[in-house]
Structure 1
Amino acid sequence: MTPRRPTRNPAAPAAKKAPAVKQTPLGDATALPVPPPGATPRPRSGGDGVPAAPPLDPADRGRLLAGEHHDPHALLGAHPVEGGIAVRALRPCATSVAVLVDGARTELHDDGDGLFSAVLPLSEVPAYTLQVAYDSGVVETDDPYRFLPALGELDLYLIGEGRHEELWKALGAHPMTHQGVGGTRFTVWAPNARGVRLVGAFNYWDAGTGLPLRSLGGTGVWELFVPGLGEGELYKFAVTGPDGHCSLRADPMARRTQCPPETASIVTASHYAWQDGDWMAHRGDRPVHEAPFSVYEVHLPSWRPGLSYRELAEALPAYVKELGFTHVELMPVAEHPYTPSWGYQVTGFYAPTARLGTPDDFRFFVDACHRAGIGVIVDWVPAHFPKDDWALARFDGTPLYEHPDPRRAEHPDWGTLEFDYGRTEVRNFLVANAVYWCEEFHIDGLRVDAVASMLYLDYSREGGEWVPNEHGGRENFDAVAFLQEMNATVYRRCPGVVTIAEESTAWEGVTRPTDTGGLGFGLKWNMGWMHDSLVYVSKEPVHRKYHHNEMTFSMVYAYSENYVLPISHDEVVHGKQALVTKMPGDWWQRRANQRAYLGFMWAHPGKQLLFMGQEFAQGAEWSEAHGPEWWLTADDYHSAGDHRGVRDLVRDLNAVYTATPALWERDTVPEGFQWSLGDAAEDNVFAFLRYDAQGAPLLSVSNFSPVVREDYGLWVPDRIAAWAEVLNTDAAEYGGSGVRNADPVKPEGGRVRLTLPPLATVWLKPA
């Protein structure tokens, strides 16, 4: 698990306009009527020649003015009454309001408190607009309260059932044409709210003058179609909770946000034209566990600090392709307010972070990776969310996304809140979110963060701090059901996508199919291998014989799950040291140890993952403030060759790996592996064979001692006439000493005799 998340974001209490975002000007004929800053409602006379509408019920009037009415459309807009059609508008701060029908203007009576009304002598509801006068000018606008709901019954039914797999198309802000008029539909789930109003730059963020939404039946969904508002508008929801307290909230379903520390949501629509059709059509041709899969893990904002999504699209895919990785894994790109959280405290689950550009800019980045032949995995964080009072926490004034029991809601490690996986709508929010990233951004894989914290009710809790399940156990059955549903839905809807669990315990069946009781993940991070192998290589060679089993134990359970071998960001921060710095010895020995370790790792059953900076043996821990130390590989740095040598090794490891099915085709079955020598603890030597589906072998031999071992005997299959080196981590071009087996080596009596370079791994194939 990732022990690195600060708890809060000191976000600004009120969002401001970003320079690149459209501002609705006063006097624009298509704009909402807006009051000037600081204006207050004033009574005015008017309505000459027509009667005022019948007075509202005092209770209805009070709730409407307080922003707590469940159905403002029943009070506002146009409705048949005795004597004609009543038109009523709520326009706080207006000096007068008139209704325009076929060019004829009728001024409405001022009913006080910003309400205006009149009864028009008509037999049916007409098409009309409102002409609203303020001290600052006059605007003409369509009336939001003359429109039918813009959300369909099927959407509402699926939301209520928790089965809306395209939830982002139903909730949130969507520019659209409704009843022949252009505008934006706003919808939000807030079942316990007394009322919800829309606020934004168009009304100077004044909740008291916000546009009230209507509640759609018993679904908990509030809706309003606002004519004249379009892409680029800033908005939030003013949500009044059961206790009468009103708070401004970012849209949980916002697909674009302001750049932190600003917190408003932005109306958006995608206009991106994808160019990765061939990639998408063929990415699932081979099951991932039977395919080459080596991953370069990246923190996008710090890989090359200052680059945007589009600039990264020019640089990162080319670099990853040059090094031969098949995939890039991005630490969370969903919007998060606090930069040092690295993205693991998400507030905008449906919005790529605005720090690097727009959602379409992120699409451009993914497309560029695909066109370079690189798959894209993103870290996904459904385990928890921060407590910021403008985001998800107590969203409608009650525990909504979090569990109502504080013992289930509070995460003790990170000062955050855990999702209530037993609530239908919350589970739907997260399942649809997983689908959203795969379908809307063509993501090829989801690495699910902190799975263990979801699975166990007592995770990081002492006795008395957690509530057992119905059987008295510690398993979180709600989380299990959620993960199963998420995986089943993603695999059904998104061919070629892989889900990957960061799960650090021995939970059974993480990568077993859901129809046989498993969680349904495609792959699982092998945290045990990572821990044990790093313990071994961090020891001085003279002590390694006492830890030999740390390197061999992984083969006891290697086929219990479909594994990824991760050397991730978690292993090179917070005092854990960079990979090369973990190694013992002088500078040459440290680099040699790292090269030998990488050779062992790439040959071991399982897929590979390496965090940025480790590919060129960066000695310092990673920091999100400045990213990898690229100057180490610069031509004018005196030891650049040392670092470039390790990088060249990583490139060649990937090249040989991808071209050798024995190293990946049978990763998950015992028939793909055989020890050649597994008990040479005194020599610090490990040798094993990998086999492809046709039985073609590769022999990997690692010598983790600093001495050359001449004429070293190993068992090999009789049927192979000769073996030749295909990779040697001690090669001079990698910074090694250049000890090698020059010619193909012929075995005798089932044994091959090799020269083993110091602190090195050698790969051999049949000559």
Structure 2
Amino acid sequence: MNQAELFPRLLISDEDMYLLRICRHHNPHAVLGWHRVGEDAADDYLSVIRTRQVGAESVVAIVDGLGEFPLTPTGDDFFVGGLPTPDPHAYQFRITWSGGVETTLADPYNFLPTLGEMDLHLIAEGRHEKLWTVLGAHLRSFESPQGTVTGCSFAVWAPNAKGVAVIGDFNGWNCTQHPMRSLGSSGIWEIFIPGVTEGSVYKYAIHTPDSRRDKADPMARRAEIPPATGSIVTASHYEWNDQQWLDKRAATDWQHEAMSVYEVHLGSWKIGEDYKELADDLVNYVADLGYTHVEFMPVAEHPFGGSWGYQVSGYYAPTSRWGDPDGLRYLIDKFHQRGIGVLVDWVPAHFPKDDWALARFDGPALYEHPDWRRGEQTDWGTYVFDFGRNEVRNFLVANALYWIDEFHVDGLRVDAVASMLYLDYSRKEGEWAPNQYGGREHLEAVQFLQEMNATVHKTYPGVLTVAEESTSWPGVTAQTEHNGLGFSMKWNMGWMNDTLAYFKEDPINRSWHHGMITFSMVYAYSERFILPISHDEVVHGKGSLWTRMPGDAWNKAAGVRALLGYMWAHPGKQLLFQGQEFAQRQEWSEARSLDWGDMEGWEGEYHRGIHQLVATLNDTYRNNPALYTLDSDPAGFTWVKADDAQSNVLAFTRQGAGGEQLLCVCNFGGASHQEYTVGMPQASKWKLVLNTDDAQFEGAGNDLKEEVSTLTFPWDGMADSLTLHIPAMSVQWYLRVD
């Protein structure tokens, strides 16, 4: 007679067995594993061990100090066995599979939860700032009398689920082998599975009232290479070598430092290079050009490469297209060792509808807002996060901190901020719902952005947050305590649009559009700006910088050089997208490498010249504090000549915090001015430090004076004046030297 017949209390109840069989049991740990069942010594069995081992032929419990106990099969791959002791003991299972294969494993249902009460409390409040350390998959080890037990804990937030199980290559993707327990009202499901190792592929089988959905882990820190969609158990083994950089970063206020940014799409800079190969080629390239920062287009996992990473499916997983997470760490570390900061694009506004990822994660709307008027971005075919829900807000704020903590990134450029701020963004009448006061402002999104910015700046001094915000929302870079959004900087989309439109005009017509090139100074100090010529400006039929310029090759090259010379002198930091540093002729495409051949041969001379100019601009810029120490202060800029539309000439000075002064003179016309006079407020001497028309940049190479001095000759209402030779389509910088 077997144990089950001797003692019915060893058996699993019909109800529990049914719920376990269909994976809808909220607490499988209360049934499976070790449990006391006897009351006194007169009972035959005082405790029981129950397990389910799908496909097993036999199971033996090896109990520490008591010996071996064969378990009795009771149907549906369940095994039970009684023990003559009321006290729990460490134990393992020896499982025999078909063909006589044996494995020995600890019991997943004999371990306490890996999340504590404080974790659950903080998650419910939306304030767990290291959420990634408790949710997701984590390799762990526990000591027992039978030795060290190693395995992986899994935890996922799915409050609407009727049951959740871990499925993976370690259990045949069988959803009944490892059902998880629900941790009360938190909505979190958890289990520790011994024997699961690094590299294992897994998902969650989410059971709703009417379906089963196999979902990638929202907190996965590594994912399969698309189009595969599994999550991967991972751990970092990387040892950082950038402490000197991090110390410097914490003490740096980038508002008053030189900052020029090279924006790059890692997959197309050179097709086929992974993170570690880029750590040689890309790092050297950016360093040689003299940039202070690099900005990666999104590196979080995304299903469709053509989205360029702006439709994210794995917010905590660096894309596996270009290597493993430690490879990305290595790349960032190499930038830091060369003194270059790393920004990454971050997309908290929306996410794709792929049914294996975040969308309708546990049945109804969870991460997305349930009202389609707030929960969908129809233009992009995506869902919008429910920013008012604590757990969702926590997911996003913790994600911002994750990239800074785990990957040492130096800043987050937040994509599509305008779409978050306005409830009627790109929506027609009847397609949006007003806020509680009847307005169009998305109050919950505003609060989320404020919380994210304040938390990042509090936790990581020196780390930047940058807004891509295309409207005139007030206070984007104002501090949160002053009711601002709290960003460090904002992309100056107005400057970008006006400047590119101006330079697209033939020089003969530019006098009619002069206001476009001067208007930016009307609002230059309303926010702290970055001047961006980003990937968005060289795709979808807009043309490259090269093709936007009117005229033949000489004039195109001169136009690009003049634009860049003006851009680097204008108040604000600079950002240039890959390929524009040598004026790539074609539009950018993520499907091919940059057109490096544009710089080859005699036809590439102008492109080589522009490439050299960018390196010189960065070097000269970094060595002239007048161009950046008062970047956000009106005292750092003075117009010298703003109204000569007929000649297409601009002139202004930049002042530094230490009294430094630099004069920038721009001629955007097609005719040279050999003796152009500008008024100056006082006698002064100036040294030419940059000329975009120089022969080294493949310009005309006009012989300009290396030093010029003012004359006591009134001009433009000023007591002194300066007469200069300004070649056609060129920019000169003069440093005051007296």
Residue 46 of structure 1 deviates from its aligned partner by: 6.1
Give, in whole Å, the separation in 2 of the partners of 1:371 and 1:538: 39
In structure 1, what is the equivalent of residue 25 of structure 2? 69
Q: Distance in 2 between matches of 1:728 and 1:285?
A: 34
Deviation at 1:632, TM superposition (A): 1.7
Matching residue within 187, 200, 212 for 2:155: 187
Counterpart of 1:188, as a letter, is V
Counterpart AA for 1:99:
A
1:348 aligned onto 2:311 = no
Which residue number in structure 2 is paired with residue 318 of structure 1? 284
Deviation per CA, 1:482-534: give whole Å up to 9, x if none: 00000001001112100000000000000000011000000000000000011
2:720 aligned with 1:753, yes or no?
A: no
Give the partner amino acid of 2:563.
Answer: Y
1:504 is aligned to 470
Partner of 1:276: 242
**How far 1:210 moved relative to its partner?**
3.4
Equivalent residue number for residue 716 of structure 2:
none
1:204 & 1:78 partners in 2: Cα distance? Answer: 25
Aligned positions of 1:709-724 closer than 5 A? 709-720=673-684, 722-724=685-687
1:142 to 106, 117, 137: 106
Asked if structure 2 preserves the Cα contact closer than 8 Å seen for 1:380 and 1:446, the reply is: yes
Supply the distance in 2 between the matched residues of 1:113 and 1:240 (Cα, whole angstroms): 20
Return the letter of the residue paired with 1:61.
Answer: M
Structure 1's consecutive aligned runs of 4 or more residues displaced over 4 angstroms after TM superposition are 45-53
Q: Residue 655 of structure 2 corresponds to which residue in structure 1?
A: 691
TM superposition shift of 1:719: 4.2
Between 547-556 and 638-647, the greater mean CA deviation after superposition: 638-647
Task: Confirm or deny: 8 A CA contact 1:523 1:562 kept in the other structure.
Answer: yes
Q: Which residue of structure 2 aligns with residue 255 of structure 1?
A: 221
Q: Match of 2:646, SS?
A: helix
The equivalent of 1:329 in structure 2 is: 295
Q: For 1:58 and 1:244, how far apart are their aligned partners in 2?
A: 22
Give, in angstroms, the shift of residue 284 of structure 1: 3.2
| Structure 1 position 306 matched with structure 2 position 272 | yes
Deviation of 1:183 (Å) = 1.2
Q: Is the 8 A contact 1:53 1:87 kept in 2?
A: no
Matched, 1:90 2:52: yes
2:180 is aligned to: 213
What is the total number of aligned residue pairs between the two structures? 718
Cα 1:46/1:130, change in 2 over 3 Å: farther
Matches of 1:140 and 1:204 in 2, distance apart? 17
Q: Is residue 150–residue 178 contact of structure 1 (8 Å, CA) maintained in 2? A: no
3-state DSSP of counterpart to 1:368: helix
Unaligned runs of 5+ in 1: 1-44
The corresponding residue for 2:212 is 246
Q: Is the 8 A contact 1:48 1:107 kept in 2?
A: no
1:99 aligns with 2:47: no
Partner of residue 639, structure 1:
603
Structure 1 residue 47, shift from structure 2 partner: 5.0
Asked if 1:762 is matched to 2:732, the reply is yes
How far apart in 1 are the matches of 2:488 and 2:679? 34
In the alignment, which of 252, 255, 273 is matched to residue 286 of structure 1?
A: 252
**SS of the counterpart of 2:688?**
strand
> Partners of 1:764 and 1:580 in 2: how far apart?
27
Q: Deviations over 1:214-258 (max 9, x none)?
A: 0112111111011111211111110111x2311111100000111
Q: Tell me how far 1:681 sits from its aligned partner.
A: 0.4
**Is this contact kept in 1: 2:4–2:80, CA < 8 A?**
no
One of 379, 398, 402 as aligned partner of 1:413: 379
Q: Secondary structure of the equivalent of 2:365?
A: coil
Tell me, yes or no, if the aligned pair for 1:297 and 1:568 is still in contact at 8 Å: yes
Kept in 1, the 8 Å contact 2:60–2:94? The answer is: yes
Q: How does 1:583-602 map to 2 (within 5 A)?
A: 583-602=549-568
Counterparts of residues 471-620 of structure 1 (less than 5 Å): 471-620=437-586
**Of 192, 195, 199, which aligns to 1:225?**
192
SS at match of 2:709: coil
User: Could you tell me how far 1:50 is from its partner in structure 2?
Assistant: 6.4
Counterpart of 1:399, as a letter, is: A
Q: Describe the superposition over 1:526-563 as per-residue Cα deviations: whole angstroms up to 9, x where unpaired.
A: 00000001111100111101110001111000000000
Aligned with 2:436: secondary structure? coil
Select 1:700's aligned residue among 643, 654, 664: 664
SS at match of 1:624: coil
CA contact (8 A) 2:642 2:650 kept: yes
TM-score by length of 1: 0.92
Name whichever of 280-289 and 653-662 sits farther off: 280-289
Are positions 1:131 and 2:97 aligned together? no
Structure 1 position 106, deviation (Å): 1.8
**Which residue of the partner structure matches residue 18 of structure 1?**
none
CA–CA distance in structure 1, aligned partners of residues 196 and 53 of structure 2:
17
Alignment partner for residue 152 of structure 1, among 94, 111, 116? 116
1:131 CA drift (Å): 2.0
SS where residue 213 of structure 2 aligns?
strand
Given that 2:344 and 2:413 are in contact with CA atoms closer than 8 Å, whether structure 1 keeps it comes out as yes
* Equivalent in the alignment of 2:639: 675
Contact residue 250 and residue 460 of structure 2 kept, 8 A: no
- Structure 1 vs Structure 2: percent identity of aligned residues? 53
179, 203, 209: which one pairs with 1:236?
Answer: 203
Return the offset for 1:119.
1.7
Aligned partner of residue 369 in structure 1, secondary structure: helix
In the alignment, what sits opposite 1:442? 408
In structure 1, how many angstroms separate the alpha carbons of the residues matched to 2:706 and 2:5? 107
Counterpart amino acid of 1:765? L
Q: Which moved more, 1:275-284 or 1:54-63?
A: 54-63
* 1:215 partner amino acid: S
Superposed CA RMSD in Å reads 1.4
Aligned partner letter, 2:178: L
Could you say which residue in structure 2 is the equivalent of 1:172?
136
Offset at residue 150 of structure 1 (A): 1.7
Cα distance in 2 for residues equivalent to 1:174 and 1:473: 44
Between the aligned partners of 1:533 and 1:48, the Cα distance in structure 2 is: 83
- Say if 1:249 and 1:390, in contact at 8 Å, map to a contact too: yes
- What is the CA–CA distance in structure 2 between the aligned matches of 1:727 and 1:124, rounded to whole Å? 83
SS in 2 for 1:95: strand
Contact 2:262–2:294 (Cα < 8 Å) also in 1: yes
* More displaced stretch, 708-717 vs 356-365: 708-717
The answer to whether 1:731 aligns with 2:694 is yes
Provide the C-alpha distance between the structure 2 equivalents of 1:398 and 1:194, rounded to a whole number of angstroms.
12
Instruction: Look up the equivalent residue of 1:326 and give its one-letter code.
Output: T
Find the residue that maps to 1:678 and give its secondary structure.
Answer: strand
Aligned: 1:200 with 2:162: no
Shift of 1:51: 4.3
Q: CA deviation at 1:118?
A: 2.0
